[in-house]
Amino acid sequence: METQKVKTCFTITFTADQYQQAKSYVEDMRKHPARVFWRGKEGKSDDELIVEQIAHRILSGFYNENPFLAGKHIIKMDAGIAS
């Protein structure tokens, strides 16, 4: 099967509660430095990790469990073929 790369940019919105949940998750992950969570995240700030976690949860909800709720947080998506 041939695959292609697509670069996608999502514009999302999130609540203070979602931010606090993601912050707690990142703080908990700090206690477990050997977990898969940390692969590719070296050098990222806590704010970057928190926002990345929020985006992951919103997009996972959109594709997997609750598209209507998650869809409220996705404002815009731009995509194009990556080289």
Reported as a single tens digit per residue, the pLDDT across 1-55 is 788 888 888 888 999 999 999 999 999 999 998 998 889 898 999 999 999 999 9
For the chain, give the number of residues. 83
Q: Is residue 36 part of a domain?
A: yes
pLDDT of residue 3: 85
- Give all strands (DSSP E) within the chain, no chain letters: 6-12, 74-81
Provide the number of structural domains found in the chain: 1
pLDDT of residue 74: 77
Residues 3-15 as b or e (16 or more Cβ within 10 Å = b): eeeeeeeeebebe
pLDDT of residue 73: 77
Q: Is residue 57 part of a domain?
A: yes
Which tens digit of pLDDT belongs to each residue from 17-26? 999 999 999 9
Q: Is residue 66 part of a domain?
A: yes
Considering the entire predicted model, what is its pTM? 0.74
Domain residues for 48?
6-81
Q: Is residue 1 part of a domain?
A: no
